[in-house]
Amino acid sequence: MNDKKETDVLLATQIVIEQALQRLGYEQDMVELLKEPMRVLTVRIPVRMDDGKTKVFTGYRSQHNDAVGPTKGGVRFHPAVHENEVKALSIWMSIKCGIADLPYGGGKGGVICDPRSMSIRELERLSRGYVRAVSQIVGPTKDIPAPDVMTNSQIMAWMLDEYSRIREFDSPGFITGKPLVLGGSKGRETATARGVVIMIHEALRLKGIDLAKARIVIQGFGNAGSYLAKFMHEAGARVIGISDVSGALYNEEGLDIPYLLDRRDSFGNVTNLFQQTITNEQLLELDCDVLVPAAIENQITEHNAPNIKAKVVVEAANGPTTLEATRILSERGILIVPDVLASSGGVIVSYFEWVQNNQGYYWDEQEIDDKLRLMMIRGFEQVYDIHRTRKVDMRLAAYMAGIRKVAEAARYRGWV
């Protein structure tokens, strides 16, 4: 595979979707329906910047398929956002929701921007502008956004406020990942990491490795990566490596996670405070038990997959491993817990948030944790069972588990 093909996330997704549907016995017409999102909106968002000039940003909202129910998925603010990336991300959301058996299809949004170089007021105007631009196609029974890379509960709050102004009534179920006082759910902030912890437990159990003796490496120190480091540290595991966009830190004895958590900024940067750093490339190849990519796409490729030393790769990030790398790792006996399963804790608790908003009754954290655990373990067992009985790699197994529900719903509706 040439490099561009290797890292084209939409193409890679379409290849696995086709394989999954074929293994499930579907014809080509179903592949045609599900290999692309049913709707992608591109928007141009004019934002008055603090210097008085107007800057026009480009954003997207992709809705993969709504046969199962309203579409659902985060909004990413990042300079590298690309239409095909958002499309792939929305397809992955359909698969995540299918594995977790949530009553949603997949959606995803993104805006090409760099929040690290914007003021708080510029960010607020951009967030509100995005909601105005996509307001026709989103809503609590249509498409429900949430946080993703470089968006957070404050941005969700501005988006909620803007949507409520447009619709002229308060509508907390429009968006999830909100602050608690605006109808957010307990446990959503930490949900993605909590879900990954549960997957690490399951994977280590299969490999016969004791978590308390395990060495963990985490790429990315944002929402997913930093809470994961905290929970692993609290569980007694040794977190020997972490990283952010600028570099990585490594200590064989275990890093001082509470100190790093205290010093990280709101974008998940911390390594710039240290002189003795290693590169992200070196981090991924460290000798460890569990490697958790928790940053961005295409980090484990055919180039570094032969050098990965972890026994288990648990994908907190969306799309961190290419198809060729999946093949190499699987053949080397490294257990992959794929993104569409491992990172589903976020959308599962987002679903709980939406349910609580709809019923106007709020649950305590224990209830959230217990329900999350149950759903994640059920998802793991389902995927692992398909992997074993159908003799397919864990990624294809996860796609088969997830896309099945969407295809069945589309067939019942008479679309195919």
Ligand X SMILES: NC(=O)C1=CN([C@@H]2O[C@H](COP(=O)(O)OP(=O)(O)OC[C@H]3O[C@@H](n4cnc5c(N)ncnc54)[C@H](O)[C@@H]3O)[C@@H](O)[C@H]2O)C=CC1
CA nearest 296: which of 370, 211, 393, 225? Answer: 225
The residue from 61, 72, 87, 125 that contacts ligand AKG (CB under 6 A) is: 72
User: Is the separation of the CB atoms in 343 and 318 below 8 Å?
Assistant: yes
Asked if 293 and 284 touch (Cβ cutoff 8 Å), the reply is yes
How are beta strands 71-72 and 143-144 bridged, if at all? parallel
* Residue 313: strand, helix, or coil: strand
Q: Which is nearer to ligand X, 31 or 87 (CB)?
A: 87
In the DSSP assignment, the letter for residue 110 is E
**What tokens does 239 get?**
């977190």
125's contact among ligand AKG, ligand X, none, with CB below 5 to 8 A by partner kind, is none
> How far is it, in rounded angstroms, from Cα 56 to Cα 58?
7
Q: Considering only residues 37, 73, 110, 129, which one is a binding residue for ligand AKG as defined by CB under 6 A?
A: 73
- Judged by CB under 6 A, how many residues of this single chain contact ligand AKG? 13
Binders in 75-134 for ligand AKG, by CB under 6 A: 96
Give the binding range for ligand X (CB under 6 A) out of 60-68, 134-142, 146-154, 305-313.
146-154
User: Which residue from 62, 127, 185, 223 is in contact with ligand X, where contact means CB under 6 A?
Assistant: 223
Q: Is 5 a catalytic residue?
A: no
Contacted by 176, from ligand X, ligand AKG, none: CB < 5 to 8 Å by type: ligand AKG
For 140, the token pair is 């609590």
Q: Which of these is catalytic: 35, 96, 108, 405?
A: 108
What is d(CA 412, CA 274) in angstroms, rounded to the nearest whole number? Answer: 57
As beta bridge partners, residue 241 has 217, 250
Does 146 bind ligand AKG (CB under 6 A)? Our answer is yes
SS (H, E, C) 188-248: HHHHHHHHHHHHHHHHHHHHCCCHHHCEEEEECCCHHHHHHHHHHHHCCCEEEEEEECCEE
| CA distance readout (Å), 194 to 200, 284, 342 | 10, 22, 10
Work out which of 70, 74, 129, 379 binds ligand AKG, going by CB under 6 A: 74
Site string for ligand X, 241-260 (x = CB under 6 A): --xxx---------------
Beta-bridged to residue 217, according to DSSP, are 241, 291
CA dihedral 375, 381, 383, 389 (to 10 degrees): -160
State yes or no: residue 13 binds ligand X (CB under 6 A): no
Residues 176-205 that bind ligand X (CB under 6 A): 192
In the complex, the smallest distance separating the C-beta of residue 245 from ligand X, rounded to whole angstroms, is 4
Q: How far is the CB of 410 from ligand AKG (least distance, A)?
A: 21
Of ligand AKG, ligand X, none, which one does residue 328 interact with (CB within 5 to 8 Å by kind)? none
Minimum separation from the CB atom of position 390 to ligand X (A): 26
The verdict on 62 binding ligand AKG (CB under 6 A) reads: no
Residue 220 within binding range of ligand X, rule CB under 6 A: yes
The pair of structure tokens assigned to 172 is 């907390």
Answer yes or no whether residue 343 interacts with ligand AKG by CB under 6 A.
Answer: yes
Asked if 219 is part of the footprint of ligand X (rule: CB under 6 A), the reply reads: yes
Is 148 a binding residue for ligand AKG by CB under 6 A? The answer is yes
Looking at residues 206 to 235 of the shown chain, list those that interact with ligand AKG (rule: CB under 6 A): none
46-72 b/e (C-beta count within 10 Å ≥ 16 → b)? ebeeeeeeeeebebbbbbbbbbbebbb
Q: How far is the CB of 373 from ligand X (least distance, A)?
A: 17
Nearest approach, Cβ of residue 343 and ligand X (Å): 4
Q: Which residues are catalytic?
A: 108
The footprint of ligand X (CB under 6 A) covers 147-150, 192, 219-225, 243-245, 268-269, 280, 294-296, 316-318, 343, 346
